[in-house]
Chains A and B, each alone.
Chain A
Amino acid sequence: MGEPADYDAGERFKRITEQEYSRLCEFLYRRTGMVFTETKRYYVERRVRDRMKATEATSFASYFARLRIDASGEVEQFVNAFTINETYFYREQHQLRCLTADLLRERIADSPRDRVADLPRDGIATPRHDSPIRIWSLPCSTGEEPYSIALWLLENWPPVDAYDIEIVGSDIDTTVLQAAEAGVFGKRSLMHLPPAVVARYFAAIGDEEWRIIDDLRQSVRFAPVNLIDAASTAAFGRFDVIFCRNLLIYFDDASRRVAAENLFESLRPKGFLCLGHSESMSRISPLFEVRRFADAIVYQRPLPG
Chain B
Amino acid sequence: MALIRNNQAGRSSPKATGAGSASPGREGRREGPTEAPTEGPTEGQADLGAVLRGGDADARRNAARALGADPNGTKTLAEALEREPDPRVREAIFTSLIRLGGRESVDAIIPYLRTDDANLRMGALDALRAMIDAARPVLPELLTDPDADIRLLTCDLLRELPSPDATALLCGVLAREQEANVCAAAVDVLADIGDAGAVPYLDQCAARFGDATFLSFAVKTARERIIAGGGAGHG
Interface of A toward B, CB cutoff 8 Å: 19-20, 23, 26-27, 30, 59, 61-62, 64-65, 68-70, 116, 121, 123, 126-127, 129-132, 150, 153-154, 160-161, 163-170, 174, 177-178, 180-181, 215-224, 230-238, 252-254, 257-258, 261, 264-266, 268, 283, 286-287, 304-305
Chain A contacts for B14, CB-based, 8 A? 223, 232, 235-236
What is the total number of residues of chain B having a CB less than 8 Å from a CB of chain A? 60
Q: Within the complex, what minimum Cβ distance (angstroms) separates B99 from chain A?
A: 7
Complex contacts, B26 vs chain A, CB 8 Å: 235, 237
Task: Assess whether B173 is interfacial by the CB under 8 Å rule.
Answer: no
**Known contacts being A219-B3, A237-B37, is A261 close to B65, with CB within 8 Å?**
yes
A61 touching B163, Cβ below 8 Å: no
Q: Give bound CA distance, A211 to B164, whole Å.
A: 53
| Residue ranges of B at the interface with A (Cβ–Cβ < 8 Å) | 1-21, 26, 29-31, 35-39, 56-58, 65, 69, 87-88, 91-92, 94-95, 98-99, 123, 126, 129-131, 159, 162-164, 192-193, 225, 228-232
Name the residue among B14, B20, B92, B225 with the largest chain A CB count within 10 angstroms. B14
Instruction: State in angstroms the CA–CA spacing of A169 and B6 once bound together.
Output: 14
A305 touches B57 (CB 8 A): yes
Provide 20 A-B residue pairs closer than 8 Å at the C-beta atoms, listed in order of the A residue.
A59-B230, A64-B230, A69-B163, A153-B4, A154-B4, A166-B6, A170-B13, A174-B17, A216-B2, A218-B1, A218-B19, A222-B17, A222-B18, A223-B12, A224-B15, A224-B17, A230-B69, A238-B37, A253-B126, A253-B129
Task: Determine which of A59, A163, A181, A304 lies in contact with B58 in the assembled complex, contact meaning CB atoms within 8 Å.
Answer: A304
Query: Knowing A129-B30, A253-B129, A253-B130 touch, does A221 contact B95 (C-beta < 8 A)?
Result: no
CB distance from A218 to the nearest CB of B (A): 4
Identify which of B9, B65, B130, B230 gathers the most chain A CB atoms within 10 Å of its CB.
B130
Q: Is the CB of A218 within 8 A of B17?
A: no
Report the bound CA distance from A59 to B36 in whole Å: 55
Nearest B residue to A220 by beta-carbon distance? Answer: B18
Known: A59-B230, A68-B229, A232-B14. 13 other contacts (CB 8 A): A65-B230, A130-B29, A164-B7, A166-B8, A215-B2, A217-B18, A223-B18, A233-B37, A234-B39, A235-B13, A237-B29, A261-B91, A265-B37
With contact pairs A218-B1, A223-B17, A224-B17 given, residues A126 and B232 touching in the complex (Cβ less than 8 Å): no
Residues of A within 8 A of B92 (CB): 261
- Interface pair B19/A305, CB less than 8 Å apart: no
In the bound complex, residues from chain B placing their C-beta under 8 Å from that of A68 are 163, 193, 229, 231
